[in-house]
Amino acid sequence: MMQPQIILLKEGTDTSQGKGQIISNVNACQIIADAVRTTLGPRGMDKLIVDDRGKATISNDGATILKLLDVVHPAAKTLVDIAKSQDAEVGDGTTSVTLLAGEFLKQCKPFIEEGVHPNIIIRAFRKATNLAVSKIREISVKVQKDDPKQGRELLLKCASTALSSKLVAMQKDFFASMVVDAVMLLDELLPLNMIGVKKVQGGALEDSLLVAGVAFKKTFSYAGFEMQPKKYTKPRIALLNIELELKAEKENAEVRVDSVEEYQAVVDAEWNILYEKLEKIHKSGAKVVLSKLPIGDVATQYFADRDLFCAGRVPDEDLKRTLKACGGSIQTTVANLTDDVLGTCELFEEQQIGGERFNIFTGCPQAKTCTLILRGGAEQFIEETERSLHDAIMIVRRAIKNDAVVAGGGAIEMELSKYLRDHSRTIAGKEQLLIGAMAKALEVIPRQLCDNAGFDATNILNKLRQKHAQGGTWYGVDITAEDIADNLKACVWEPAIVKINALTAASEAACLILSVDETIKNPKAGEGGPAGRGRGRPM
Amino acid sequence: MSMGSLAFDEFGRPFLILKDQDKKSRLHGIEAHKSHIMAAKTVASTLRTSLGPKGLDKMMVSSDGEVTISNDGATILSMMDVDHQIAKLMVQLSKSQDDEIGDGTTGVVVMAGALLEQAEQLLDRGIHPIRIADGYEMAAQVAIGHLDKICDQFPLDQSHRERLIETAMTTLGSKIVNRCHRQFAEIAVDAVLSVADLERKDVDFELIKMEGKVGGKLEDTMLVKGVVIDKDMSHPQMPKRIKDAKIAILTCPFEPPKPKTKHKLDVTSVDDYKKLRVYETEKFDEMVKQVKDTGANLVICQWGFDDEANHLLLQRQLPAVRWVGGPEIELIAIATGGRIVPRFQELTTDKLGKAGIVRELTFGTTKDRMLVIEECHNSRAVTIFIRAGNRMIIEEAKRSLHDALCVVRNLVKDHRIVYGGGAAEIAMSLAVSQEAEKISTLEQYAMRAFADALDSVPLALAENSGQAPIQTVAEIKSRQVTEKNPRLGIDCMNKGSNDMREQHVIETLSSKRAQIMLAVQLTKMILKIDDIRSSSENMF
């Protein structure tokens, strides 16, 4: 007798479970890790990714690459997510975190195949992570920040380490000091959106400049704009959110005019509304008028006539930054333009930068903001520079908040690896092997650094293991000399928080993937299912 | 072509990780490098033959049949409509040279192509691409340092106009307009000098306008110290020539004012209608009177007016020009020192612009007319008026003049010059190869390759001028060393001298410098890419 088949899931649903599922998830993660593997380190390469619309992106940033790869595999997506979270949290080390997670999984694959329960692996990994994190805290070097000069030195080193793997590596000293200066200009909260980044094509990288104030591109202008003065010292700045244009005051309103005389009156009334506004702005003593909404041709000519400068349709973000830098407040009416709502700065000037004209405010009394103007040959080049600087800015911000640093170039990973290996030997039971596996996995960072640079990885790693066993805590890969070196002395510094975050995120991702033993994937709506069914057609 | 990498599950079944993975292509490692270099070399070889005074032009036909003839690297590349990603980078490279410097757009692409070609050989020898890039960067530093040493300097004032003209002539040498070589160079120099702010070292290109008109000869091209607009008087009977013009510049139309609010006027009786008529005529009268009262004898209007107003203006003897575009209005205002007036009520005598003479130009048998405003109050706004046989030549002349203007502007900004004709490149090449010997690491090879790549510019110059390239370059190289004279270059015009100072072949230092920096930057970027993923298969 046939048992009736019980259908639980919709037809076409893909299910797979058990050990095999874990293995296949691990394999998927390997592919993702492989995609960014070669971007690690100062000798890392870039990827060129072309999307469906033909837009090309060239990047070295792990998070950017993974985002653009458009991953659909559910387990592999986890890795993309941790790269993104590392990007959001600390901004740098996105490649390392992906690599580490991939390597953790790779090392525990044989154990899964041999039938070790995933939960035991997970427990061991968690324990090892905790040990590693407390070890980082223990050995990290605190830098005295009381001395401003030394504090700056620290920031510079961290920034240049972050930049060394990027396209701008050759100009890293230039950009590192630029980034540090930019972050130093901010207030205590270090809000990221107060650093404006403007990109102008053309010129060399070294032509990039930092404006201690606000700079934005010339907005759309009407006839009469060229006659306005383009330079003021100590101008009063009015920030408005008003449309200064001759227009219908109310939408959908209709005026009925009985006689021709009244006709003129209506026209005059409209003009007067605008003129009154302009008059008030002029009377307030403001010399520079910025508005979020358009400033029409009549207003432009009116201002030109009275030696005022105006710019309409200023992007919201730029207007806010001007507000932060110059003081004052954004007004939605001209009725109350008193001195305290007007901002001011030392110098306002319109300058030509490459093919664009920029409005630049400098010497602002409340300069809590700054603008980076990036120059470079190609569009992709500038975009990658922007991403690289973003990483560096994040690192500097992190370093200001936490003054603990560790040595980069694989040094900290080697030290942790040694520490975990030593520790594993003291434990009885399965965990010994698993913590040992994690120790081995950590070596992936120095190994990859060597591989990317074309060195003999085995040789260098052996040298490193020996040094670390002898107590050389900060020995890491020396890219320039194809050897090992004390990276703390060589000034390859990274904030400890970056490493802590990378380690925890990677181990969490690995644990997550290990704990999944079944995937149920619903068929896509609209497709799938046996052909011929549905739509009322007979079989 | 390899597919995106596949992963396998425990049964050996492949599964997809990326969306539409089977449709994506991936190129990896050394093949990726080879493909990039191939693409870049192809682009560079297209431009190679347009380098130098004997370089040839390219004709591009766009998809809708429009023909462009050009010798300008940036123009050629942007018209080529390149699809390959790396080739696109080359196009952007020449564009950014164009934006920043304006000249040397061909040279920069040839240079980048040569650098990549050299890099290919190094890659074959197994040198890590980033080591090559580092070596190039080091070499570029040396080269630019050497440029600073060999450059010449001269103070900029009117007495050195001759030097400026020589530099402009070098730029124009390779262009189609070299029939009127000297004339064009003079026009460019005079135009820049009249708008330049020598104190601030700033040249505002907005003040230089270029107008072209088909017909006449290239020799008829002239520089107007004032404004030329492609418009004529609104009425054929208005005077064609106004002396001591007082110009009212209006941005409001000659018509009864209209409120912007939606409005409706109900005319119910004949009386009302008549009243409206009277009102309208009164308004016209009033407006014309207001203008007349200020003493203006010419009206430039941004908007139009109907025939009735036109007639009235003629009656009141007030010549007018209508439908003048926004930028022109602005230029007229700057040139004549007038103010743009948005309302009749605001018009006063001191807001009028003044010009010595306003006249209408007519051309040959055509009915085309143009208005020239000259002897302006402020002579800083100038117009270059180009005449030529056909539209293509006018366009190319505009581009050539633009290049020349840029070069002169760069000289105003930075007076330093180097000698052209490949002299600077050969000198740099010598300096770099000398410096290369002092380096103990792998980068030595890259630096030597850089020196070889620098030779590609003089090689191409010699080749294009019909000389035996290698022989000529080798000879000049040895002469530069023995005579210690960095001014020796390729004698493209067969004038019998290799000294570029005698030949007056001058280029700006900033242009050469930008060429090297940009080319190295791009090369470095291309060398750093080892993985290309793209969605469409036909791309690579």
- Residues near B80 by Cβ (< 8 Å), separated by ≥ 6? B46, B60, B91
Cα dist. B257→A345, B271, B301, B403 in Å? Answer: 41, 21, 15, 46
- Optimal mutation site among A21, A23, A72, A170, interface B, most CBs of chain B within 10 A: A170
Instruction: Name the token pair of A396.
Output: 């500097």
Closest B-chain CA to A16: B9
Which residues in chain B are contacts of A201 at CB distance < 8 A?
A: 92, 95-96, 99
Residues in B 203-232 with any Cβ partner in A closer than 8 A:
204, 206
Which residues in chain A are contacts of B276 at CB distance < 8 A?
A: 260
Which residues in chain A are contacts of B333 at CB distance < 8 A?
A: 223-224, 226-227
B134 at interface of A, judged by CB pairs closer than 8 A: yes
| Total of domains in chain B | 2
Residue B514 belongs to some domain of the structure: yes
Which is the catalytic residue, given A61, A92, A318, A478? A61
Which residues in chain A are contacts of B261 at CB distance < 8 A?
A: 248-250, 253-255, 266, 270
Partners of B508 in beta bridges: B417
- Optimal mutation site among A48, A227, A278, interface B, most CBs of chain B within 10 A: A48
Residue B334 belongs to some domain of the structure: yes
Say how far apart CA B347 and CA B252 lie, in whole Å.
11
* Beta carbons of A388 and A174 less than 8 angstroms apart: no
Say how far apart CA B267 and CA B288 lie, in whole Å.
27
pLDDT at position B10 is: 57
Which is the catalytic residue, given A391, A451, A473, A478? A391
pLDDT digits (tens, 9 = 90+) for A370-402: 888 888 767 778 888 888 888 888 888 888 877
Mean pLDDT of chain B: 82
Are the beta carbons of A224 and B134 separated by less than 8 Å?
no
B2 at interface of A, judged by CB pairs closer than 8 A: no
pTM of the model: 0.80
Is residue A189 predicted with pLDDT exceeding 80? no
Which residues in chain A are contacts of B31 at CB distance < 8 A?
A: none
Which range has the worst mean pLDDT, A13-22, A113-122, B245-254?
A: A13-22
Partners of B249 in beta bridges: B300, B340
pLDDT digits (tens, 9 = 90+) for B361-408: 877 666 677 888 888 777 677 888 888 888 888 888 888 888 888 888
For residues A243-268, average pLDDT? 74
Which range has the worst mean pLDDT, A69-83, A513-527, B323-337?
A: A513-527
Is residue B2 predicted with pLDDT exceeding 60? no
Cα dist. B301→A317, B51, B291 in Å? Answer: 37, 46, 12
Which residues in chain A are contacts of B522 at CB distance < 8 A?
A: 377-378, 381
Which is the catalytic residue, given A95, A161, A369, A385? A95
Could you tell me where in chain A the CATH 3.30.260.10 domains are found? 144-212+370-402
A14 is catalytic: no
Closest A-chain CA to B529: A46
Cα dist. A133→A62, A138, A434, A467 in Å? Answer: 23, 9, 17, 22
| b (16+ CB within 10 A) / e for A324-353 | bbbbbebbeebeebeeebbbbbbebeebeb
Are the beta carbons of A378 and B532 separated by less than 8 Å?
no
pLDDT digits (tens, 9 = 90+) for B37-71: 988 888 888 888 888 788 888 888 888 888 888 88
What DSSP line would sit under A443-473, residue for residue?
Answer: THHHHHHHHHHT--HHHHHHHHHHHHHTT-T
Could you tell me where in chain A the CATH 1.10.560.10 domains are found? 14-140+406-521
pLDDT at position A321 is: 84
Is residue A2 predicted with pLDDT exceeding 70? no
* Model confidence band, residue A534 (pLDDT cutoffs 50, 70, 90): very low
Same-domain pairing of B373 and B434: no
For residues B254-260, average pLDDT? 72
Say how far apart CA B359 and CA A521 lie, in whole Å.
80
Same-domain pairing of B338 and B286: yes
Range of the domain at B57: 25-153+419-535
Which residues in chain B are contacts of A384 at CB distance < 8 A?
A: 525
Residues in B 450-469 with any Cβ partner in A closer than 8 A:
none
Same-domain pairing of B356 and B492: no
The DSSP code for B42 is: H
pLDDT digits (tens, 9 = 90+) for B134-155: 899 889 989 999 988 888 877 6
CATH fold of A14-140+406-521 reads: GROEL; domain 1 (1.10.560)
pLDDT digits (tens, 9 = 90+) for A195-231: 888 888 776 777 788 888 888 888 887 777 777 888 8
Are the beta carbons of B17 and A252 separated by less than 8 Å?
no
pLDDT digits (tens, 9 = 90+) for B79-120: 888 888 888 888 888 888 887 787 888 888 999 999 999 999
Across the A/B interface, how many CB contacts are shorter than 8 Å? 229
Residues in A 23-42 with any Cβ partner in B closer than 8 A:
23-24, 27-28, 30-32, 34-35, 38, 42
Is residue B435 predicted with pLDDT exceeding 70? yes
Residues in B 36-75 with any Cβ partner in A closer than 8 A:
none
A173 is catalytic: no
Residues in A 99-158 with any Cβ partner in B closer than 8 A:
none
More confident residue, A4 or A409: A409
Say how far apart CA A171 and CA B212 lie, in whole Å.
45
ipTM value greater than 0.90: no
Say how far apart CA B446 and CA B426 lie, in whole Å.
17
Of B276, B522, B524, the CB nearest to A260: B276
pLDDT at position A528 is: 42
Residues in A 507-526 with any Cβ partner in B closer than 8 A:
none
Instruction: Name the token pair of B18.
Output: 């990326």
pLDDT at position B450 is: 93
Are the beta carbons of B532 and A227 separated by less than 8 Å?
no
Same-domain pairing of B310 and B425: no
CATH code, domain carrying B240: 3.50.7.10
More confident residue, B6 or B161: B161
**Selecting from 3.30.260.10, 3.20.20.110, 3.30.70.100, 3.30.559.10, what CATH number does the domain A144-212+370-402 have?**
3.30.260.10
Same-domain pairing of B235 and B335: yes
Of A71, A167, A246, the CB nearest to B17: A71
Are the beta carbons of B521 and A376 separated by less than 8 Å?
yes
Are the beta carbons of A254 and B261 separated by less than 8 Å?
yes
pLDDT digits (tens, 9 = 90+) for A229-238: 888 888 888 8
CATH code, domain carrying B32: 1.10.560.10
* Model confidence band, residue B156 (pLDDT cutoffs 50, 70, 90): low
Same-domain pairing of B357 and B439: no
A76 at interface of B, judged by CB pairs closer than 8 A: yes
Which residues in chain B are contacts of A304 at CB distance < 8 A?
A: 339-340
Is residue B449 predicted with pLDDT exceeding 90? yes
Are the beta carbons of A224 and B330 separated by less than 8 Å?
yes
Same-domain pairing of B426 and B344: no
For residues B300-306, average pLDDT? 81
pLDDT at position B158 is: 63
Residue B405 belongs to some domain of the structure: no
pLDDT at position B20 is: 67
Same-domain pairing of B250 and B353: yes
How long a stretch of residues is chain A? 539
Is residue B3 predicted with pLDDT exceeding 70? no
Please identify, among B321, B354, B378, the residue that sits at the C-terminal boundary of a domain.
B378
Are the beta carbons of B8 and A254 separated by less than 8 Å?
no
Which range has the worst mean pLDDT, A68-82, B313-327, B368-382?
A: B368-382
Which residues in chain A are contacts of B256 at CB distance < 8 A?
A: 263
pLDDT digits (tens, 9 = 90+) for A7-56: 676 666 666 777 888 888 888 888 888 888 888 888 888 888 887 777 88
Say how far apart CA A406 and CA A419 lie, in whole Å.
15
| b (16+ CB within 10 A) / e for A373-410 | bbbbbbbbbbbbbebbbbbbbbbbbbbbeebbbbbbbb
Rg over alpha carbons for chain A, rounded to the nearest Å, is: 30
Which residues in chain A are contacts of B534 at CB distance < 8 A?
A: 49-50
B262 at interface of A, judged by CB pairs closer than 8 A: yes
- For the A216-366 domain, the top CATH level (class) is alpha beta
The DSSP code for B18 is: B
Residue B342 belongs to some domain of the structure: yes
Closest to B24 measured CA to CA, from A48, A113, A356, A173: A48
Residue B414 belongs to some domain of the structure: no
- Residues near A479 by Cβ (< 8 Å), separated by ≥ 6? A41, A42, A43, A409, A449, A453
| b (16+ CB within 10 A) / e for A210-242 | bbbbbbbbebebbbbbbbbeeebeebbbbbbeb
CA distance A186 to chain B (A): 31
Residues in A 39-68 with any Cβ partner in B closer than 8 A:
42-43, 45-52, 54, 56, 58, 60
Residue B229 host element (H or E): strand B226-229
Of B99, B528, B539, the CB nearest to A167: B528
B289 at interface of A, judged by CB pairs closer than 8 A: no
Which residues in chain B are contacts of A20 at CB distance < 8 A?
A: 9-11
Residue B202 host element (H or E): none
Residue B132 belongs to some domain of the structure: yes
Residue B160 belongs to some domain of the structure: no
Are the beta carbons of A28 and B521 separated by less than 8 Å?
no
Please identify, among B378, B411, B446, the residue that sits at the C-terminal boundary of a domain.
B378
Which residues in chain B are contacts of A249 at CB distance < 8 A?
A: 261
Please identify, among B350, B378, B406, the residue that sits at the C-terminal boundary of a domain.
B378
Same-domain pairing of B147 and B31: yes
pLDDT at position B252 is: 79
- Residues near A92 by Cβ (< 8 Å), separated by ≥ 6? A86, A162, A391, A392, A394, A395, A494, A498
- Optimal mutation site among B33, B521, B536, interface A, most CBs of chain A within 10 A: B521
Residue B389 belongs to some domain of the structure: no
Same-domain pairing of B438 and B331: no
Say how far apart CA B490 and CA B156 lie, in whole Å.
28
Q: Hey, is B105 helix, strand or coil?
A: helix
Are the beta carbons of A49 and B532 separated by less than 8 Å?
yes
